[in-house]
């Protein structure tokens, strides 16, 4: 894109419908600014457009996949800008470099934090030609509100407000201090004058934005903290929301795909004699690891594909079996080849001298994402340009990825943003196999092609949540307090946030380590990433220790959280909300767990029941969430409920197994998911501790598996160390 100047900005603004445009305009070279660590930076990498009729459009650089970002981010900007919310609208920013989420990254750096794993990996993903730190537009790491919102949207809004006030003050020849901005107007009370933002916008846009705009105090908020309705709900209830799978283009054809069943396998040949005369069949394309049938209707393509005889080769992994992997895990855990991530006290010495060591092994399986909208991508190569329509969590990354696949310049690729029918980590460019397929097909034909994966392909060619095994050893003192916490777990990838395995409890001697292994199973981010398994391990084992010490598991935790007031507060509240002390009917049990992830602390207490036929029912979940601050309580509640359901589904049913290099599960019956009937009552409470704002999209998930299993123990004395529960002889209602 070259040098970015204010002019570039205004032109882009004009393209988006005219009006003044405020943005990141402090110096001509945006990249230069972003790399600088000087304090003299305007953190305004976001855009707001004010039209003459006072309509304000906020451009959001992140994808909407259900998490409500498209509403929460404009709320943050509008709040600081003193905008009239009824006149604010949202527009998804296009896949252009100027919308890269540099500020998201800087949000981490500025506070002395590390770049989170989800972004980091992309930064050294050399596959992308443009893979520099800033060329990303990622939605993930629960980062949109935390980083783009805090560092970008708020400051942009505040700067815009100051510029608008300055414009009014200059017009009226009064001091800015005498002016007040409110509901998209600037007032000079002394003289009774007022001007709308629309009237002031053009003049305001000629100023340099202030470097340090003053942000509002929380007690003055009129928009943030309110359960404001989402922008996208009306379209979603009438079937008018356009997802990638809904794209329709003139002359477009439909494609169905079958991949080599074994990871790393390839497509050798096909015989199309059986389908050649089928109605509407266009052609068959062979890619390296798949065959694709193109037709004038998806069903025709899919039907022909299932009639097509194809020869696949298995490659090297035709004998891989995920059951054997756990045997390998067990061996690896006792190997000497471990990476120590945290040590405190004298863990080694304690271990060798101890009289009684309490030990336990836990494991979790591979998991598929199973987004409700199966993978799909529409691609059209024409006039040297590749156009793409697809749901992606990173528009710019997807653009770079597609350019790489097509061997085109970045500039020759256009990615059209569309709503995602679920993301959960599946739709990142690093897992862009569905984009790659469509691009390769599009490069071979002259018309637009919509390639849709069947649910079976989606399930069997995902990038999975890694399987993990974790081994704990502990020593308790005479009061039952843990003296030693010794943990080693397996790491087959996607485990950059090793702190996810750290315990918040005050234990003097600790050693936390992992052993790295390789498997042929492709792995990637899955809602809450490492925390999804670590939450289960850590919070199950501490529960075991409490019972070993013959202490109440809630009080036991509390006694170890004296240095962690936020954890303690959330835990106490969750216990209170479920009624920890209440008398329970026969067969019922309560469990509790707590996990911090993405800067947010979540405690969950769960009530379950088991009858004498091992029918397991989850009755209730009380979640207490301390994200520091809540932007939109209604959206936040949905996210927490969603995280709980996603995690509960996994704990109860979720498992991907691989036999002979092939995934066994194929669709919802054998990859069972929770439905209305199995959904417990969920109550969600927020603690606004005022600490730095944390994430919301993933944080509801990590404690749930342990809370449920701890409740099962309380109800029955059965300790669950392996997920999913359906494999442990329970009958569970979906």
Partner 1 sequence: MAFKLIINGEETIVDVEPAMPLLWVLRDELGLTGTKFGCGIAACGACTVHVNGVATRTCVLPVEAVDGAEITTIEGLGKNGLHPVQQAWIEHQVPQCGYCQSGMIMSVVSLLDNTGNPTDEELNQAVTNVCRCGTYQKVRAAVDSLKQS
Which residue ranges make up the site for partner 1 (CB under 8 A)?
A: 65-68, 227, 229-230, 232-243, 245-246, 248, 254, 279, 296-300, 302, 370-374, 419-424, 452, 454-455, 634-635, 638-639, 641-646, 667-669, 673-677, 679, 681-682
Q: Which is nearer to partner 1, 213 or 374 (CB)?
A: 374
Measured between alpha carbons, how far is 84 from 222 in angstroms, rounded to an integer? Answer: 10
**Alpha carbon 509 to chain centroid, angstroms:** 34
Which parts of 103-132 interact with ligand FES (CB under 6 A)?
A: none
Compute the least distance from the CB of residue 277 to ligand FES, in Å: 28
Residues 420-459 that bind ligand FES (CB under 6 A): 422
Query: CB of 418: closest distance to ligand FES in angstroms?
Result: 15
What's the rounded Cα separation, in Å, for the pair 413 and 389? 11
Minimal distance in Å, beta carbon 372 to ligand FES? 4
Do 92 and 417 meet the contact criterion of CB atoms below 8 Å apart? yes
Q: Which of residues 298-317 bind ligand FES (CB under 6 A)?
A: none
Binding partner of 475, given ligand FES, partner 1, none, CB within 5-8 angstroms per partner class: none
The sign of the CA dihedral 410, 412, 415, 416 is: positive
The strand ranges marked E within 7-153 are 20-22, 47-50, 56-60, 88-92
Whether cis (ω within 30° of 0) applies to the bond prior to 498 is: no
Cβ 41 vs Cβ 138: under 8 Å: no
CA-based max dimension of the chain: 86
Least spacing, CB of residue 83 vs ligand FES, in Å? 28
CB 7 to ligand FES: min, Å: 41
Q: Which residues, including other chains, have CB under 8 Å from residue 13's CB and lie 6 or more apart?
A: 19, 20, 21, 23, 47, 49
Nearer to ligand FES, 246 or 346 (CB): 246
Residue 294 CB neighbours (<10 A): 25
The residues pairing with 56 across neighbouring beta strands, listed in sequence order, are: 50, 88
State how far the Cα of 442 lies from the Cα of 164, in Å rounded to an integer.
48
- 91 touches which of ligand FES, partner 1, none (CB within 5 to 8 A by kind)? none
Query: What does the H/E/C string look like for 256-306?
Result: EEEECCCCCCEEEEEEHHHCCCCCCEEEEEEECCEEEEEECCHHHHHHHHH
The partner in contact with residue 645, picked from ligand FES, partner 1, none with C-beta cut-offs of 5 to 8 angstroms by kind, is: partner 1
Which of ligand FES, partner 1, none does 298 bind, CB closer than 5 to 8 A by kind? partner 1
Q: Which does 234 bind (CB under 5 to 8 A by kind): ligand FES, partner 1, none?
A: partner 1
Q: For residues 230 and 511, give the distance between their C-alpha atoms in angstroms, rounded to a whole number.
A: 45
Site for ligand FES in 597-656 (CB under 6 A): none
Least separation in angstroms between residue 523's CB and partner 1 is 19
Closest to partner 1 by CB, 333 vs 370, is 370
Return the bridge partners of 22, or none.
48
Q: What is the DSSP letter of 632?
A: -
As measured in angstroms, the least distance from the Cβ of 637 to partner 1 is 9
CA angle, 682 then 635 then 502, to 5°: 70
Taking the least distance from each CB to partner 1, the nearer of 248 and 309 is 248
Report the SS3 class of residue 50.
Answer: strand
The entry of partner 1, ligand FES, none that residue 682 binds, CB within 5 to 8 Å by partner kind: partner 1
Least Å from the CB of residue 189 to partner 1: 37
CB atoms within 10 A of CB 465: 28
**Residue 68 binds which of partner 1, ligand FES, none (CB < 5-8 A, kind-dependent):** partner 1
Classify residue 378 as exposed, middle or buried by CB count within 10 Å of its CB (0-12, 13-18, 19+).
Answer: buried
**646 interacts with, out of partner 1, ligand FES, none, CB within 5 to 8 A per kind:** partner 1
Q: How many residues bind ligand FES (CB under 6 A)?
A: 3
Q: What six digits make up the tokens of 171?
A: 């017009």
CB-closest chain residue to ligand FES: 372
With CB under 5 to 8 Å by kind, the binding choice for 654 among partner 1, ligand FES, none is: none
State in angstroms the smallest separation of the CB of 142 from partner 1.
15
Taking the complex as a whole, the smallest distance from the CB of residue 67 to ligand FES amounts, in Å, to: 10
Cβ closest to partner 1, residue 182 vs residue 279:
279
- Give, as one character, the DSSP assignment of residue 438: H
Site track for ligand FES across 204-233, x = CB under 6 A? ------------------------------
* Positive or negative: CA dihedral 680, 681, 684, 685: negative
Least CB distance to partner 1 at residue 233 (A): 5
Contact between 374 and ligand FES per CB under 6 A: no
Nearer to ligand FES, 66 or 209 (CB): 66
Rg (CA), the chain: 27
Q: Measured at the alpha carbon of residue 656, what is the angle toward residues 650 and 659, in degrees to the nearest 5?
A: 160
Query: Minimum distance from CB of 391 to ligand FES (Å)?
Result: 12
Query: Could you tell me if 79 and 224 are in contact, meaning their C-beta atoms sit under 8 angstroms apart?
Result: yes
Binding at 86: pick from partner 1, ligand FES, none (beta carbon under 5-8 Å per type)? none
How far apart CA 80 and CA 88 sit, in angstroms, is 13
Among partner 1, ligand FES, none, partner that 269 touches (CB below 5 to 8 angstroms by kind): none
User: In this complex, which beta carbon is closest to ligand FES, that of residue 64 or of residue 530?
Assistant: 64
Q: How far apart are CA 428 and CA 330, in angstroms?
A: 32
CA geometry: angle 221, 225, 231, nearest 5 deg: 105
For residues 194 and 186, the answer to whether their CB atoms sit within 8 Å is yes
Q: Toward partner 1, which CB reaches closer, 240 or 336?
A: 240
Is residue 372 part of the contact set for ligand FES (CB under 6 A)?
yes
Q: Are strands 588-597 and 662-663 parallel, antiparallel or unpaired?
A: unpaired
* Contacts with ligand FES, 316-355, as mask; x by CB under 6 A: ----------------------------------------
Instruction: Report the DSSP pairing between strands 47-50 and 56-60.
Output: antiparallel
Q: Which does 420 bind (CB under 5 to 8 A by kind): partner 1, ligand FES, none?
A: partner 1
Q: Which does 230 bind (CB under 5 to 8 A by kind): partner 1, ligand FES, none?
A: partner 1
256 or 545: CB nearest partner 1:
256
Query: Of residues 13, 66, 448, 466, which one binds ligand FES by CB under 6 A?
Result: 66
CB of 421 to partner 1, least distance (A): 3
Helix (H, G, I), strand (E, B) or coil at 156: helix
CB of 421 to ligand FES, least distance (A): 6
Which residue's CB is nearer to ligand FES, number 13 or number 422? 422
How far is residue 557 from each of residues 321, 640, 720, measured CA to CA in Å? 39, 23, 19
**Which positions touch ligand FES (CB under 6 A)?**
66, 372, 422
């Amino acid at each position: 894109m070259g040098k970015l100047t204010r002019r570039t900005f205004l032109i882009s603004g004009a393209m988006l419908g005219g009006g003044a445009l405020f943005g990141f305009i402090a110096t001509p070279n945006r990249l230069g600014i972003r790399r600088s660590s000087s304090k003299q930076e305007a953190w305004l990498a976001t855009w707001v457009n004010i039209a003459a009729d006072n309509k304000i459009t906020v451009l959001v650089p992140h994808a909407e996949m259900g998490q409500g970002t498209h509403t929460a981010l404009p709320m943050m900007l509008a709040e600081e800008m003193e905008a009239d919310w009824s006149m604010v609208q949202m527009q998804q920013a296009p896949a252009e470099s100027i919308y890269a989420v540099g500020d998201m990254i800087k949000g981490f750096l500025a506070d002395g934090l590390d770049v989170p794993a989800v972004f980091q990996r992309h930064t050294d993903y050399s596959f992308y030609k443009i893979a520099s730190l800033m060329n990303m537009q990622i939605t993930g790491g629960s980062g949109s509100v935390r980083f783009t919102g805090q560092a970008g949207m708020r400051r942009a809004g505040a700067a815009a407000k100051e510029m608008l006030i300055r414009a009014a003050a200059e017009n009226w020849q009064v001091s800015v201090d005498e002016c007040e901005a409110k509901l998209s107007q600037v007032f000079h009370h002394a003289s009774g004058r007022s001007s709308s933002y629309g009237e002031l916008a053009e003049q305001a846009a000629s100023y340099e934005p202030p470097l340090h705009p003053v942000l509002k105090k929380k007690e003055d908020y009129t928009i943030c903290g309110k359960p404001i309705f989402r922008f996208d709900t009306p379209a979603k209830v009438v079937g008018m929301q356009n997802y990638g799978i809904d794209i329709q283009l003139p002359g477009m054809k439909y494609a169905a795909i079958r991949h080599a069943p074994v990871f790393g396998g390839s497509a050798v040949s096909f015989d199309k004699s059986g389908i050649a005369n089928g109605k509407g069949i266009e052609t068959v394309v062979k890619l390296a690891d798949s065959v694709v049938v193109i037709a004038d209707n998806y069903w025709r393509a899919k039907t022909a594909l299932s009639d097509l005889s194809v020869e696949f080769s298995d490659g090297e992994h035709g004998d891989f079996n995920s059951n054997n992997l756990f045997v390998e895990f067990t061996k690896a855990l006792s190997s000497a080849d471990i990476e120590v991530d945290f040590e405190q006290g004298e863990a080694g010495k304690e271990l060798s001298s101890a009289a009684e060591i309490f030990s336990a092994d836990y494991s979790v399986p591979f998991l598929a994402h199973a987004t409700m909208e199966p993978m799909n991508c529409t691609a059209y190569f024409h006039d040297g340009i590749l156009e793409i329509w697809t749901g992606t969590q990173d528009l710019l990354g997807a653009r770079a990825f597609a350019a790489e696949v097509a061997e085109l310049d970045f500039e020759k690729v256009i990615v059209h943003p569309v709503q995602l029918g679920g993301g959960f980590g599946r739709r990142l460019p690093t897992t862009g196999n569905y984009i790659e397929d469509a691009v390769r097909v599009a490069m071979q034909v002259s018309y637009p092609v919509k390639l849709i994966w069947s649910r079976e392909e989606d399930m069997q060619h995902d990038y999975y949540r890694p399987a993990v095994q974790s081994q704990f050893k502990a020593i308790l003192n005479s009061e039952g307090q843990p003296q030693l916490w010794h943990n080693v777990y397996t790491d087959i990838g996607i485990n950059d946030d090793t702190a996810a395995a750290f315990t918040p409890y005050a234990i003097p001697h600790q050693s936390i380590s992992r052993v790295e292994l390789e498997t042929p199973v492709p792995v990637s981010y899955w809602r809450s990433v490492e925390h999804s398994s670590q939450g289960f391990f850590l919070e199950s084992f501490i529960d075991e220790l409490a019972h070993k010490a013959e202490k109440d598991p809630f009080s036991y935790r509390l006694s170890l959280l004296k240095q962690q007031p936020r954890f303690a507060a959330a835990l106490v509240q969750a216990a209170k909300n479920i009624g920890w002390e209440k008398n329970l009917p026969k067969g019922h049990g309560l469990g509790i767990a707590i996990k911090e992830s993405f800067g947010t602390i979540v405690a969950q207490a769960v009530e379950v029941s088991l009858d004498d036929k091992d029918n397991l029912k989850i009755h209730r979940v009380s979640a207490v969430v301390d994200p520091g601050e809540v932007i939109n309580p209604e959206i936040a509640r949905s996210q927490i409920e969603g995280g709980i359901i996603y995690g509960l589904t996994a704990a109860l049913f979720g498992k991907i197994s691989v036999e002979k290099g092939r995934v066994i599960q194929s669709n919802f019956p054998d990859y069972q998911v929770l439905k209305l009937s199995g959904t417990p009552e969920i109550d969600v409470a927020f603690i606004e501790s005022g600490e730095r704002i944390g994430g919301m999209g993933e944080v509801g998930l990590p404690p749930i598996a342990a809370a449920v299993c701890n409740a099962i123990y309380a109800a029955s004395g059965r300790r669950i160390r392996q997920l999913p529960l359906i494999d442990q002889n329970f009958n569970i209602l979906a």
